[in-house]
Amino acid sequence: MSIAASSESPALEILPGGVGGPFDFRSLFGNDGPAELEIGVGKGRFLLGQAAARPEVNFLGIEWSLKYLRVAKERAQRQGLTNVRLFRADARHVLATLLPDRSVVRVHVYCPDPWPKKRHRKRRMFTPAAVNHIERVLVPGGYLDLSTDVRDYFDEIRELVPGASGLREAEDPLFPIESSGGRTSYEAKYLQAGRPIHRTTYVRPAEPPGRRQGISTMMSPDSIRTR
C-alpha cells in the first residue's frame, strides 16, 4: 500500500485517492502494533477515547460523512493522538478490497444505519459478503463487537452472522455486553431517550497450532487491556 504524501505529521486522514493498494498497517502507523477497526466513527467519541486509553493499539476509523470525519479529525489533533487514522470511504469496499487477511484484532460496528425502508435494505452494513470479509480480516481469536437500537435488525444480524461465517457468539473481556453507558454518541443519545441498545459480540475461533500462519508477532486480543 502507498499513501499519498501530506504535509501533516502524522497524517491522521487518509486522503481520497491516496490508497494505492491493500493497507500495510506498519507503513500506515509506523509501527507493528495491533490494529482495530471502527466502521462508522461518527464524531469519534468511541474511537478517540480508546486511542487515548490504549496508545499501544492502532485505530483505523471509517466514516462516510465528511462533516463527521472532519470533527473526529479535529478532535484527534487537539488531543495529540498519533495512533489514529481516519478514512472517508464505503466500509463494504474497505472490507472487500483494502484490508488484508488476519490484519485486525477487533472490528467495532455500533448503531449502523438500519435503512428501515424495505427497498433500501440492500444498503445495510451487515450482508453475507460483509460478514464473510469481517471474518477474513480478523485474526484468529479476534472479536466483532456490534450494537443497534433496532430490534429487528439485531435479530437479522444474529441469524445472519453464524450462517454466513465461522464467527461465534462470545464475550469480549474488554467490552462486556452489559453496560449502562453508551460507547458512541448515538448510543448515549438513544439510552438517554429510553431506547434500548442491543449488543452482541462474535469471535473468530482460534485455529489449531498446526494451522497458525503469519500471526506469530500479533498481540492476542485478550492481552490488550484498558489502562
Please confirm, yes or no, whether 149 is among the known catalytic residues.
Answer: no
Q: C-alpha cell of 54?
A: 490504549
Give the largest CA-CA distance in the chain.
50
**Given its phi and psi angles, is residue 133 left (phi above 0), alpha (psi -120 to 50 degrees) or beta?**
alpha
Which of 113, 149, 155, 222 is flagged as catalytic? 113
Q: List the strands of the sheet with 13-14, edge to edge.
A: 13-14, 84-87, 58-62, 35-39, 104-110, 138-148, 198-203, 168-169
Residues that are catalytic = 113
